[in-house]
Structure 1
Amino acid sequence: MPTTRETILTALADLLSTIPHVPVLRGEVLPERIPPAGLMILRDGNPGEPGMTLSPLMYHYQHRAELEVIVQSTTDRDAVFDALSAQIGAVIAADRTLRGLCDWIEPEAAEPVDLPVEGAAPLKAGIIPIILHYATSDALV
């Protein structure tokens, strides 16, 4: 049986995969080719130190997952990156609790960078931190 953490991260990946034409990878290395609409790679991140409540014993996490967003284009990569970031925000805003699996999801703004690629169109990439607030009775998440 998967842990609470794994269940929530899988549900987040499934939610992000509803964005059309943009693959979502989970913990993968950057592939050699980036699809025209872009690519997302969800990293597990860090659950951090939990807060605790007693009676009943619960561990409260503010887990920081990381979503790498990558687009590649010679002409409109800024617009594609911006549109994809907006779609990510809209999808998350539509289901802030992942159908009740967690208390709240809060994406933060990315700090995009332009990366030259030898012999290919440049990349625009950024990491969007996604804070997952959830509680579990298992200290090992």
Structure 2
Amino acid sequence: MPTTRETILTALADLLRTIPHVPVLRGEVLPERVPPSGLIILRDGDPGEPGVTLSPLRYHYQHRAELEVVVQDAKSRDARFAELIASIGAVIVADRTLGGLCDWVETEAPEPVDLPVEGAASLKAAVVPIILHYATSDPLA
């Protein structure tokens, strides 16, 4: 039986997969080739220290997951990157509770960097923090 955390991270990955033509990986290394449409890698991140309420006992998390967003396109890299970031924002705004699994999902602003690649077009990449607010009755559930 999957934990609350795993269920929420899986739902987030599935939501991101609704972005057309953009592969979404989970916890994998950056592949040698980045598709022209870009690539998103979901990192599970850190649930952090929970807040605790009693009666009933609930652990309230502000889990910080991360998306690695990567685009490699010699001609329209900056525009494609901006488009991909906007698409991520749009799908999250459309379902801030991941179908009721999460109390709230919010993003933080990315800090893009240009990464040179020897013999190929450079990469434009950023880490996009995703904060998942949820509660569970057991920190291991």
- Please tell me the TM-score bracket, short chain as reference: over 0.9
- Coordinate RMSD, CA, aligned: 0.6
Which residue identity does 1:56 align to in structure 2? P
TM-score by length of 2: 0.99
Alignment correspondent of 1:46: 46
SS at structure 2 position matched to 1:122: strand
Matched, 1:126 2:121: no
Which residue identity does 1:92 align to in structure 2? I
Separation in 1 of the partners of 2:76 and 2:21? 17
Matched, 1:105 2:91: no
Unaligned runs of 5+ in 2: none
Runs of 4+ residues deviating >6 angstroms = none
Unaligned runs of 5+ in 1: none
Alignment correspondent of 1:34: 34
Q: Say how many residue pairs are matched.
A: 141
Separation in 2 of the partners of 1:77 and 1:129? 21
Separation in 2 of the partners of 1:13 and 1:33? 21
Alignment correspondent of 2:91: 91
Displacement after TM superposition at 1:28 (Å): 0.2
Q: Can you list the C-alpha shifts for 1:66-100, whole angstroms capped at 9, x where unaligned? A: 00000001121110000000000000000000000
SS at structure 2 position matched to 1:11: helix
TM-score by length of 1: 0.99
